[in-house]
């Protein structure tokens, strides 16, 4: 009897720990379609040292692009794309870039306004089904502009603890927009529309639904048609098309805040099918998108001006740079100057894109690990200051 019990226990523990997937290094093969002169860039060594430092601190892998008008584009990487198979990170590798997609969503909505298909000051209730609108406080009054600017006051479903534990309970569940909106149903709004700003993913789920309603197709197909294809963003795609596409680097989480990471590549998060996250890209494509946007090559000058009308929150986050909210974009005051930015988290991934209007410098970086102690090296104010000090 004792032997059987011991065997059962040993079997349970051996069988219960899932080993990493064996993947050939060729799976991660990628290339750029432009002449890369990063190795001869005047600040190559300084940038590379920064990435190496970040990796040595505990980030699994990082890729970065820096554009300065006088020096051109630099791209680089450090650390690992895949720990189990010991594959190094390359600058062209793709990863999840989370909420940075909100800038793409906002730009798409602004393009629809340019095409005369909507007006930013229309109420969202004029477009979406009453069934959704009736259950979300403020949704009947909020305008498209207020959703874009997070000034709708609408409750952020991610803040709902019931949602947080439910998503942990089923880490590979693929959530549909309606599933997620349920966690914002009948929740008190933060303030009346237009009174303040408060970041809410719910706004951008509704904006994705708006795009689909107007265009009659999935919003990510609209992204492809209006943004990815025209700009030649060949390494950019949306998760709904293929949640774990070939070449995507493995993601890792420091779940227990002890720099002992677990693989999370197949953890769906909750944004495969909603316009508040779910983008897959790399720092080169993101840098090009941001540059083209700021140069006025994606939306016209009027739209760009509307995008960059800022609202200051009544209460600032004491642990971050002074911030203002635009349409799918933020304005922060860093020691290196004013920057426009948007960052994004997914489970096991983080990305940040910054543009400095004073000299048109654009910095984008993406990492394949987050949470716990790792965040202090990539996403906090101190982490960003460290990066900007070395790069800007």
Partner 1 sequence: MKVILKTMLATLLAIVTPAFLWSQTKPIPINVSLFNESTAIPFTRFITTPVHPGIQVGTEFDYNRKSHTRLFQTANISYFYHNYLAQGIGIHTELGYECRASMGLALTGLFGLGYMHTFATTEEFRHHNGQYEKKSDKGNARLIPSLSFDVGYYLRCADTYSPKIYLRYEAWAEYPYSPDFIPVLTHINLHAGVKFFLSKKSISHE
Q: Which residues of this protein are in contact with partner 1, per CB under 8 A? A: 9, 12-13, 16-20, 55-56, 58, 60, 80, 83-84, 161-162, 165-166, 168-172, 252, 255-257, 259-263, 266-267, 371-372
Contact between 131 and 182 (Cβ < 8 Å): no
Answer positive or negative: Cα dihedral of 261, 31, 283, 335.
Answer: positive
- Cβ 23 to partner 1 shortest distance, Å: 13
**Beta-carbon contacts of residue 192 (< 8 Å; ≥ 6 apart):** 138, 141, 153
Q: Token pair for residue 300?
A: 């016209």
- Cβ 89 to partner 1 shortest distance, Å: 12
Return the bridge partners of 341, or none.
330, 354
- Cβ 263 to partner 1 shortest distance, Å: 6
| Helix, strand, or coil (residue 74) | strand
Task: Return the number of the residue (79 or 328) whose C-beta is nearest partner 1.
Answer: 79
- Cβ 172 to partner 1 shortest distance, Å: 7
DSSP 348: T
Task: Return the number of the residue (54 or 304) whose C-beta is nearest partner 1.
Answer: 54
State the burial class of residue 385 (Cβ atoms within 10 Å of its Cβ: 0-12, 13-18, 19+): middle
Task: Return the number of the residue (39 or 171) whose C-beta is nearest partner 1.
Answer: 171
- Cβ 371 to partner 1 shortest distance, Å: 6
Task: Return the number of the residue (39 or 259) whose C-beta is nearest partner 1.
Answer: 259
**For residues 369 and 2, what is the distance between their CA atoms, to the nearest angstrom?**
43
Task: Return the number of the residue (46 or 168) whose C-beta is nearest partner 1.
Answer: 168
Task: Return the number of the residue (40 or 165) whose C-beta is nearest partner 1.
Answer: 165
Q: Residue with structure tokens 């048109």?
A: 360
- Cβ 57 to partner 1 shortest distance, Å: 8
Task: Return the number of the residue (183 or 330) whose C-beta is nearest partner 1.
Answer: 183
Based on its alpha-carbon atoms, the radius of gyration of the chain, rounded to whole angstroms, reads: 21
Closest-CA residue to 223 (of 280, 138, 161, 295): 280
Q: Residue with structure tokens 């998760």?
A: 239
- Cβ 376 to partner 1 shortest distance, Å: 9
- Cβ 83 to partner 1 shortest distance, Å: 5
**For residues 24 and 21, what is the distance between their CA atoms, to the nearest angstrom?**
10
- Cβ 15 to partner 1 shortest distance, Å: 9
Phi and psi of 134, rounded to 5°?
Answer: -65, -25
Q: Token pair for residue 104?
A: 């793409």
| Helix, strand, or coil (residue 81) | strand
| Helix, strand, or coil (residue 283) | helix
Task: Return the number of the residue (168 or 300) whose C-beta is nearest partner 1.
Answer: 168
Task: Return the number of the residue (111 or 250) whose C-beta is nearest partner 1.
Answer: 250
**Beta-carbon contacts of residue 212 (< 8 Å; ≥ 6 apart):** 218, 219, 222
């Amino acid at each position: 009897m004792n032997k059987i019990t011991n065997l059962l226990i040993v079997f349970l523990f051996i069988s219960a720990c899932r080993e990493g997937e064996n993947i050939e290094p060729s799976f991660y093969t990628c290339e750029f379609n432009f002449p890369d002169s990063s190795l001869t860039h005047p600040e190559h060594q300084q940038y590379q040292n920064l990435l190496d430092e970040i990796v040595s601190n505990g980030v699994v892998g990082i890729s970065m692009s820096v554009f300065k008008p006088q020096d051109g584009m630099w791209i680089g990487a450090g650390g690992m794309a895949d720990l189990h198979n010991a594959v190094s990170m390359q600058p062209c590798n793709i990863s999840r870039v989370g909420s940075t997609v909100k800038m793409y969503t906002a730009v798409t909505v602004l393009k629809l306004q340019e095409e005369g298909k909507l007006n930013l000051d229309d109420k969202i209730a004029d477009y979406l089904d009453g069934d959704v609108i009736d259950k979300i406080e403020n949704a009947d009054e909020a305008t498209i502009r207020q959703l874009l600017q997070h000034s709708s006051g609408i409750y952020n479903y991610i803040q709902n603890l019931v949602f947080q534990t439910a998503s942990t309970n089923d880490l590979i569940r693929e959530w549909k927009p309606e599933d997620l909106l349920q966690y914002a149903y009948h929740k008190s709004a933060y303030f009346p529309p237009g009174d303040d700003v408060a970041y809410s993913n719910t706004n951008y789920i509704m904006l994705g639904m708006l795009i689909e309603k107007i265009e009659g197709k999935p919003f990510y197909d609209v992204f492809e048609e209006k943004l990815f294809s025209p700009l030649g963003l060949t390494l950019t795609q949306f998760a709904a098309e293929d949640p774990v596409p070939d070449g995507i680097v493995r993601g890792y989480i420091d779940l227990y805040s002890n720099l002992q990471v677990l693989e999370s590549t197949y953890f769906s998060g909750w944004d495969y099918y909603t316009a508040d996250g779910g983008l897959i890209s790399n720092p080169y494509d993101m840098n090009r998108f941001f540059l083209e946007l700021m140069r006025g090559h994606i939306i016209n000058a009027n739209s760009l001006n509307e995008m960059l009308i800022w609202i200051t929150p009544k209460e600032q986050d004491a642990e971050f740079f002074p911030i203002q909210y635009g349409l799918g974009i933020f304005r922060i005051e860093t020691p290196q100057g004013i920057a426009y930015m948007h960052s994004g988290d997914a489970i096991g991934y983080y990305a940040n894109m910054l543009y400095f209007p004073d000299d048109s410098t654009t910095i984008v970086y993406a990492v394949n690990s987050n949470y716990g102690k790792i965040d202090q090296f990539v996403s906090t104010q101190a982490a960003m200051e460290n990066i900007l000090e070395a790069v800007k």
